[in-house]
């Protein structure tokens, strides 16, 4: 790959998805784009780049952008965010939302569905607290391919073994040949749409909880700040943001502050400017393993229909 070809791919990916590819990560371009080149009958990246530059190459540019996203995900990943959801967020919001009995949860990087489905299972397991509530869970992602997998709800033995407790596997999954399919009732609780985090998401309306995990680490500081500030505008004044273990708002924006004793959990700062604040001696978390994913998303999500939980626990469908 020539320096000019690398520069074109780097700039295209930055413009279309926010993804930053540095020179030392050039191997990622080769490993992820060569399968696309072969699939389209091109023996080299040079030919692929030439086709990407062509005026009629829009679909190929979209395919290349999706190919560069990393779709690492598993059920109840990292545990702490889900503990914060059940132990901190739900008690606080069920008290303040007692009159409306409605919660809206957005997974901004849904990937193959494990995160939003984990939330749906957790909500179902919390029937004593959320019985009869309207819980609107929607997930977005840049890649249409991973969302199709998510909508099917089909996972390999390896995928369901990663984080899914055995009792929940038995309760909420059925075997389908060599795969496991998540219960239709759980799938019905989640709405999935393609969307790009660089696009305007003010159309989403007010949200109560945003899971935006393992996404911001792949963006530059200005893109991180922009996304965080726009999320802050969409969150209810008492809403919550959940970031990944290797992510932080420190030194990026004053729109959020950490919730005490709740790692990775943030609340909106009323009247903030969205400006960066000095780190003041706080060391940001170390970078994560290379596997974690940049997934944002590419069309639109409107006001999703909410799901009214049944008044009994267990599987349906």
DSSP run (H or E) holding 57? none
Q: What is the pLDDT of residue 137?
A: 97
Whether residue 30 sits in one domain with residue 94: no
Q: Do both 41 and 159 map to the same domain?
A: no
What is the pLDDT, as a whole number, of residue 311? 35
* Strand pairing category for 235-243 and 179-182: unpaired
More confident residue, 178 or 297: 178
* 17 and 137 both lie in a single domain: no
pLDDT more than 90, % of the chain: 55
Nearest to 252 by CA among 272, 271, 237: 272
Q: Same domain for 87 and 223?
A: yes
Q: Are residues 194 and 276 in the same domain?
A: yes
What are the pLDDT digits (tens) for 6-56? Answer: 888 989 888 888 888 888 888 888 888 988 889 889 888 899 999 999 999
pLDDT at residue 309 in the model: 45
Query: Given pLDDT bands bounded at 50, 70 and 90, which one contains residue 286?
Result: low
Query: Do 119 and 246 reside in the same domain of the chain?
Result: yes
Where in the sequence is the domain holding 125, given as residue range(s)? 80-308
Q: Are residues 157 and 56 in the same domain?
A: no
Q: Rounded to whole angstroms, how far apart are CA atoms 258 and 271?
A: 16
Distance of CA 129 to the CA centre of its chain: 25
Task: Specify whether the CB–CB gap between 306 and 136 falls below 8 A.
Answer: yes
Asked if the model's pLDDT at residue 62 lies above 90, the reply is: no
Q: Are 166 and 102 contained in the same domain?
A: yes
Domain count, the chain: 2
Which CATH number is 41's domain given?
A: 1.10.155
Let me know whether 54 and 118 are in one domain.
no
- Eight-class DSSP state of 166: H
**Cα→Cα distances 183→44, 117, 284, Å:** 43, 10, 39
In angstroms, rounded to a whole number, what is the distance separating the alpha carbons of residues 298 and 30?
24
d(Cα 238, Cα 207) in Å, to the nearest integer?
Answer: 10
* Final residue in a domain of this structure, among 43, 67, 91: 67
Same-domain pairing of 245 and 207 = yes
pTM above 0.95? Answer: no
Dihedral sign from CA coordinates of 67, 70, 71, 72: positive
Predicted confidence at residue 317, as pLDDT, reads 37
State the chain's mean pLDDT as an integer. Answer: 85
Convert the pLDDT of each residue in 220-268 to its tens digit. 999 999 999 999 999 999 999 999 988 999 899 999 999 998 999 999 9
């Amino acid at each position: 790959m020539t320096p000019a070809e690398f520069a074109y791919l780097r700039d295209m990916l930055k413009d279309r998805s926010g993804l930053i590819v540095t020179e030392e990560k050039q191997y990622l371009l080769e490993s992820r784009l060569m399968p696309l080149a072969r699939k389209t009958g091109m023996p080299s990246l040079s030919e692929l780049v030439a086709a990407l530059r062509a005026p009629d190459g829009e679909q190929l540019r979209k395919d290349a952008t999706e190919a560069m996203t990393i779709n690492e995900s598993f059920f109840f990943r990292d545990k702490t965010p889900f503990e914060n959801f059940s132990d901190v967020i739900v008690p606080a919001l069920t008290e303040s939302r007692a009159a409306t009995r409605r919660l809206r949860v957005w997974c901004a990087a849904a990937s193959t569905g494990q995160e939003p489905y984990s939330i749906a299972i957790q909500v179902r397991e919390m029937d004593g607290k959320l019985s009869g509530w309207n819980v609107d869970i929607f997930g977005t992602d840049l890649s249409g391919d991973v969302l199709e997998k998510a909508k099917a709800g089909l996972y390999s033995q390896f995928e369901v073994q990663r984080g899914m407790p055995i009792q929940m596997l038995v309760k909420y999954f059925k075997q389908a040949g060599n795969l496991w399919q998540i219960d239709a009732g759980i799938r019905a609780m989640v709405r999935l749409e393609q969307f790009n985090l660089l696009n305007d998401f003010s159309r989403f309306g007010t949200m109560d909880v945003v899971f935006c995990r393992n996404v911001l680490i792949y963006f530059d500081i200005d893109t991180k700040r922009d996304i965080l500030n726009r999320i802050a505008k969409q969150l209810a004044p008492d809403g919550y943001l959940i970031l990944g273990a290797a992510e932080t708002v420190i030194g990026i924006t004053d729109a959020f502050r950490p919730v005490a004793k709740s790692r990775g959990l943030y609340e909106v700062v009323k009247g903030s400017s969205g400006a960066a604040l000095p780190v003041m001696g706080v060391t940001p978390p170390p970078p994560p393993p290379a596997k974690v994913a940049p997934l944002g998303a590419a069309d639109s999500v409107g006001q999703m229909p909410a799901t009214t939980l049944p008044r009994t626990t267990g599987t349906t469908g």
